[in-house]
Amino acid sequence: MNQRHNALRALAAAVALAFVASPALAQEKVKVGFMLPYTGTFAALGNAITNGFKLAIAEQGGKLGGRDIDYVTVDDESDPAKAPENVNKLIKRDNVDVIVGTVHSGVAMAMAKAAKDNNALLLIPNAGQDEITGPLCAPNIIRTSFSNSSPGYAMGKVAADRGYKTVVTLAWKYAAGDQSVGGFKEAFEKGGGKVVKELSLPFPTVEFQPFLTEIASIKPDAVYVFFAGGGAVKLVKDYDAAGLRKTIPLLGPGFLTDGTLEAQGASAEGLLTTLHYADELDNPKNNAFRAAYKKAYNVEPDVYAMQGYDTGQLLAAGTKAVGGDMKKRDALIKAMQTAKIDSPRGPFSLSKANNPVQDIYLRQVVNKQNKAIGIAIKGYADPAVGCKM
């Protein structure tokens, strides 16, 4: 009897020790689903976001709220037609705790709808679709980037302040292009300018020649464009090759020259853009971030890398507050909404619509860098029309 009792005690002790020695056994991992473009014109953007996110996690010892992480990755190809199926894979097949994505506004729209329908947690590290932090806003959808109209609005103000009177716009015909141009036009015309022609072409096509010919014949004071990634590289080079760079200033949101300067070369020198980030912002966090990113990936970070990094930082703050227990959803969201994120862009907070309130810089390309030459709008808050939480 005594012997049996001792054996049982020894067994119980061994079991207890096994749990103490490997607490992970008792804890679920945090399952993160990336839905981003890894092919197509925005592939570099998706990769930069992923790298930035993973850098932030590495700085947390590779964990979230003290827990190990499982990653699931879907290439959304920036294709809105495939978006509902792709996001449902993450929600229903993979049962992820949080979705991180995406770049393209049309794809993000489908993701936001699915997140609402299924009460899934969605963190948006780029796509600016205005409605997502407007009428479609929800507590479980948080954006760490910008809304499409915001950088455009800032540039409209800059263009009017510079005394330009007439502008032609050229953009991809989808939400990001339309809303970027809309923001520009609103501020530019409020400041006394006039958008005399709005030109567009389907995403992601890059047959710019006929439009450049038309711009040359209209001779506006300036041109405002929305392009990003591979399309931005080609537009800037074509604009220069057409001989327009020196005669008609080319303006845009900073996506025009972010992550693209190596490929654009001399064609981008001197261009003015507006964005919530610039390469050489001299704050300790940006300096540390840029050095760490360069060391980890051997390339310079861009705005997309920074947004991915801040998405990682935000999720780290949220999960820390709940000890990695993703079922404590309300506390997790609250912690993210109130987190003070030390961002390379400078301080920002989240609005009631879960969109960053942040400075928008005026930048100029100098020696292959997007250099901040001023602040176009301080503490810009998207109007978030129609958002009721």
List contacts with ligand PHB (CB under 6 A).
103-105, 126-129, 148, 176, 228, 255
Tell the smallest beta-carbon distance from residue 327 to ligand PHB (Å). 31
Give the integer Cα–Cα distance in Å for 56 and 289: 9
Give the integer Cα–Cα distance in Å for 36 and 29: 22
| Cβ proximity to ligand PHB, 182 vs 193, nearer residue | 182
Cβ-based neighbour number of residue 348 at 10 Å:
19
| Cβ proximity to ligand PHB, 108 vs 321, nearer residue | 108
Q: Is 192 exposed, middle or buried (0-12, 13-18, 19+ CB in 10 A)?
A: exposed
| Cβ proximity to ligand PHB, 127 vs 154, nearer residue | 127
Tell the smallest beta-carbon distance from residue 227 to ligand PHB (Å). 8
Give Rg (Cα) of the chain.
23
Helix (H) or strand (E) holding 360: strand 356-366
Tell the smallest beta-carbon distance from residue 65 to ligand PHB (Å). 29
Tell the smallest beta-carbon distance from residue 306 to ligand PHB (Å). 12
| Cβ proximity to ligand PHB, 101 vs 220, nearer residue | 101
Tell the smallest beta-carbon distance from residue 37 to ligand PHB (Å). 9
Helix (H) or strand (E) holding 122: strand 122-124
| Cβ proximity to ligand PHB, 38 vs 255, nearer residue | 255
Tokens of 88: 């449902």
Give the integer Cα–Cα distance in Å for 363 and 261: 13
Tell the smallest beta-carbon distance from residue 151 to ligand PHB (Å). 9
| Cβ proximity to ligand PHB, 179 vs 319, nearer residue | 179
Q: Which long-range contacts does 27-30 make (Cβ < 8 Å, 24+ apart)? A: 27/66, 27/67, 27/324, 28/67, 28/326, 29/67, 29/68, 29/69, 29/70, 30/64, 30/65, 30/67, 30/68, 30/69, 30/70, 30/97, 30/98, 30/319, 30/324, 30/326
- 3 state DSSP class of 133: helix
Tell the smallest beta-carbon distance from residue 228 to ligand PHB (Å). 3
| Cβ proximity to ligand PHB, 239 vs 255, nearer residue | 255
Tell the smallest beta-carbon distance from residue 282 to ligand PHB (Å). 24
Cβ-based neighbour number of residue 114 at 10 Å:
20
Give me the residue whose beta carbon is nearest to ligand PHB: 228
- 3 state DSSP class of 357: strand
| Cβ proximity to ligand PHB, 105 vs 355, nearer residue | 105
